[in-house]
Amino acid sequence: MKLLVLGTFLGAITVVPALAADMPVKARPLAPTVYDWTGVYIGANVGVAWDRMRALDVTQPSGGFFTDLVPAGTEGFDFNKAGIAGGAQLGAQKQWGRFVLGLEATYTAADLEQTITSPYFPASDTETGKVQHIVTGVARVGYAFDRMMVYAKGGYAGGQVGFKARDNVATVTYERKLWQNGFAVGAGFEYALTNAVILGVDYTHVDLGKATSTGPNVFDSGALGAFPETYETKATVDLVTARIDYKFSPF
């Protein structure tokens, strides 16, 4: 009797591990995939821009035709204009840990043109300032939170700056368009909607520096004769744009 009970007990011990071995084992969950910002991207942007421009009459020795012979370098014209801006961007970047380093080139078309009445000859003269065709080439430093990234940037900026002064009574005009060089700084936020499509918001401050140009002579039919006008132009532009990029496979 004792032997029968012992045998039954030992058999039960053998069966239990066998049943345990046949039970399904729950698989461990896979670690979430962290987004990789590395790659080459191309995209478009649209937003608003506003400029601050000044055209200073530096005609020696005592100013020019459009500023009533005031001392050179003391009188000029100021312009402030806001408008729609848009363009395209192309860049490449590489991620190390949470840091993302890259290079980016942009082109922005901005028709920032304003015409004002001259404060010196309001009955006859008008002046027009214009900034357009802005390009940048910047380095970017980003910090990523998986599919979100914030970044700062800085580098080269250039743009076309135009100035026109017109005496509508004497029918004489000074007009020049210059390509001016300066710098750009900015910051932005991006979100990877998919592995390839990235949405973002970007702020860029562009300083186009200063440039001086002597334009075609204007002519007064009176005793003053011909004048070679010389103006110094300087301009800054601020842009806030929404962006969409398509990122190609990591290189």
- Which residues have C-beta within 8 Å of that of residue 72, sequence separation ≥ 6? 57, 58, 59, 60, 61, 62, 63, 64
Task: Classify residue 30: in a domain, yes or no.
Answer: no
What pairs with residue 110 in β-bridges?
85
- Which residues have C-beta within 8 Å of that of residue 156, sequence separation ≥ 6? 136, 137, 138, 181, 182, 183, 184
User: Could you read off the pLDDT of 73-113 as tens digits, one per residue?
Assistant: 898 999 999 999 999 999 999 999 999 999 999 999 998 99
Task: Classify residue 100: in a domain, yes or no.
Answer: yes
Number of domains present in the structure of the chain: 1
The CATH code of the domain that includes 218 is: 2.40.160.20
Reported as type and span, the H/E element at residue 11 is helix 2-22
Q: What confidence score (pLDDT) does residue 30 get?
A: 53
Model confidence, pTM = 0.83
Task: Classify residue 28: in a domain, yes or no.
Answer: no
Q: What confidence score (pLDDT) does residue 22 get?
A: 53
Task: Classify residue 20: in a domain, yes or no.
Answer: no
Is residue 61 reached through a cis peptide bond, with omega within 30 degrees of 0 on the bond before it?
yes
Task: Classify residue 9: in a domain, yes or no.
Answer: no
**For range 225-243, the mean pLDDT:** 89
User: Could you read off the pLDDT of 176-211 as tens digits, one per residue?
Assistant: 999 999 999 999 999 999 999 999 999 999 999 999
Task: Classify residue 19: in a domain, yes or no.
Answer: no
Q: SS3 letters for 135-186?
A: EEEEEEEEEEECCEEEEEEEEEEEEEEEEEEEECCCCEEEEEEEEEEEEEEE
Task: Classify residue 16: in a domain, yes or no.
Answer: no
What is the domain range of residue 46?
A: 37-247
Average pLDDT for the chain: 87
